[in-house]
């Protein structure tokens, strides 16, 4: 598998996993048994507690575990160092900037 094929394959798998996961804009919303509650806000205005959809969300949560932080941060730094920033890198950075503490 070439590097380009690997990137495309992982991107496809990530999108497939996201499609099977509780949809919506996940946000913290109060406390549930002394832990932060996470609520998915759907495009139709509906909401669903992510904990109630655990089976659909577990793979997404584990795929984007803290193990992804170092390589994602390295990619963002590399994208910033290579002259003009690619729009996709900017999109990722903007989403993360809006959600990171």
One digit per residue, the tens of pLDDT, for the chain of length 101 reads: 778 788 888 889 988 988 888 888 887 776 666 666 788 888 899 888 777 777 777 788 878 878 888 899 999 999 999 778 889 999 999 999 988 87
Residues 59 and 77 in one domain: no
For 40, counting Cβ atoms within 10 Å of its Cβ (0-12 exposed, 13-18 middle, 19+ buried), the class is buried
Residues 70 and 36 in one domain: no
Contacts of 36 (CB under 8 A, 6+ apart): 28, 30
Domain count along the chain? 2
Residues 25 and 56 in one domain: yes
Question: DSSP letters along 40-66, please?
Answer: EE-TTS-EEEGGGGHHHHHHHHHHTSG
What's the predicted TM-score (pTM) here? 0.69
Residues 14 and 39 in one domain: yes
- Is residue 52 within 8 A of residue 40, CB to CB? The reply is no
Residues 57 and 70 in one domain: no
Helix (H, G, I), strand (E, B) or coil at 11: helix
Residues 60 and 81 in one domain: no
Residues 71 and 99 in one domain: yes
Residues 76 and 29 in one domain: no
Stated length of the chain: 101
What domain range is 77 assigned to? 65-101
Residues 38 and 74 in one domain: no
């Amino acid at each position: 598998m070439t590097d380009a094929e690997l990137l495309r394959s992982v991107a496809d798998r990530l999108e497939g996993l996201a499609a099977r996961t509780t949809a919506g804009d996940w946000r913290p919303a109060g406390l549930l048994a002394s832990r932060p509650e996470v609520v998915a806000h759907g495009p139709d205005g509906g909401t669903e507690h992510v904990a109630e959809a655990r089976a659909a969300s577990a793979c997404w949560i584990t795929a984007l575990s803290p193990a992804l932080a170092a390589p994602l941060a390295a990619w963002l730094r590399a994208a910033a160092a290579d002259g003009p920033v690619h729009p996709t890198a900017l999109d990722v950075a903007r989403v993360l900037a809006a959600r990171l503490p």
